Amino acid sequence: MHIMTRSRVLRLLAASALSIIAGSSTLAQAPDKKELKVGFVPGPYIDEFKIGVAPELAKKGYQIRYVEFSTGLEANNAVFKGEIDANVMQHTVFLNSYNERQKTDLVGIVHVPTPPMGLYSKKHPLGTKIGAGAKIAVPNDPVNLQRALWILRDLGLIEIRDSKPVDVSELDVIKNPGGIKIVPLEAAQAPRALDDVDFAAVQGNFAIFSGLKLTNAFALEKMTTPYINVVAVKRDNAETGWAKDIVEGYKSPGFKSAILADRFYDGFTLPDYMK
């Protein structure tokens, strides 16, 4: 019968301990989810994700399932119900308004490159003065209506009162010397409305999706941080490993290089971490 010496027993125990530690390290590096379901609405955000974030997540062992929605309300509802893990399509002001109205708990975890809202026309060439009585389509949801009214205000066309984003309406226009006709409609319909109105204030994602170029806008909004779009998740998921990996993907050198190398993204408002 072979009897192990005390020193050999100690060596075996030490080796076993090292093996367990190594195994634990390997497990810690593995993603806590094998598949991430990420939602998008029409616009540039799905392409941003595919070219710059997905490759970084693939290195960490994730598989990505892309889910496309026609409206932001659908995309937010899917996150809240757990049907998808995250979505990329809205700014913080809109997200906060959605949470307040729907009694949900979604949060933004990282800003993403965002095209600004712009004023476009198919009937008038660039440089044309916006004349009296011009029909201008604007988003009908209060948050984005306010952004459109700010563009018209900055052009000197109207004056508006200060209001909370969730309370804004056409009634907040207090001076309209040129008799501009404001036409509220669903934001996604704005590009199509260009055939029927003189001008339309089009959100950046819908402008890009419909083939409009930022360089052809009569005016672009002066976008501030609250209006730069975010990746949204349920609050309880904000500190998960996979959520942090998404954030790291956006903040990676690979993502920055992919975006800055593509002229398509010229004119986008960039998050602070890309500057």
Do the Cβ atoms of 112 and 95 come closer than 8 Å? no
pLDDT for 165 equals 73
Give residue-wise pLDDT tens across range 123-178: 999 988 999 999 999 999 888 999 999 999 999 999 999 877 767 888 899 999 99
How many Å apart are CA 9 and CA 24, to the nearest integer? 23
pLDDT for 33 equals 82
Q: Is the pLDDT of residue 103 over 90?
A: yes
Q: Is the pLDDT of residue 274 over 90?
A: yes
Could you tell me how many residues make up the chain?
275
Q: Which domains does the chain have, with CATH numbers?
A: 35-114+226-274 (3.40.190.10), 118-222 (3.40.190.10)
